[in-house]
Amino acid sequence: MKDPCAHCEEMMQPYLDHTLSEEERIEAEHHLDGCDWCRRRYRFEESLRVYVRQVVTEPMPADLKAKLSSLRLEL
């Protein structure tokens, strides 16, 4: 049987890109509801994307930098 967390991780990039099918999105969200580990991973990845976007346009704000390092510590 496939590890649900591994499956959830596979869906992370397309989830954040909003390219999942409705069915897959619900599946991912359902898993995230009950899995703290994956929820953190998704949140971290999302923060990373925000950071990457901001780096392109402006210097990284100090609060975001602090947020990112605290997320990294949680993982």
CB of 55 to Zn ion, least distance (A): 29
Q: Would you tell me which residues interact with Zn ion (CB under 5 A)?
A: 5, 8, 35, 38
The region that residue 18 occupies, defined by phi over 0 for left and psi between -120 and 50 for alpha, beta otherwise, is left
Q: Which is nearer to Zn ion, 4 or 68 (CB)?
A: 4
Q: Which is nearer to Zn ion, 30 or 72 (CB)?
A: 30
CB of 30 to Zn ion, least distance (A): 11
Quote the DSSP letter at residue 17. Answer: T
49 in Cβ contact with 16 (< 8 Å): yes
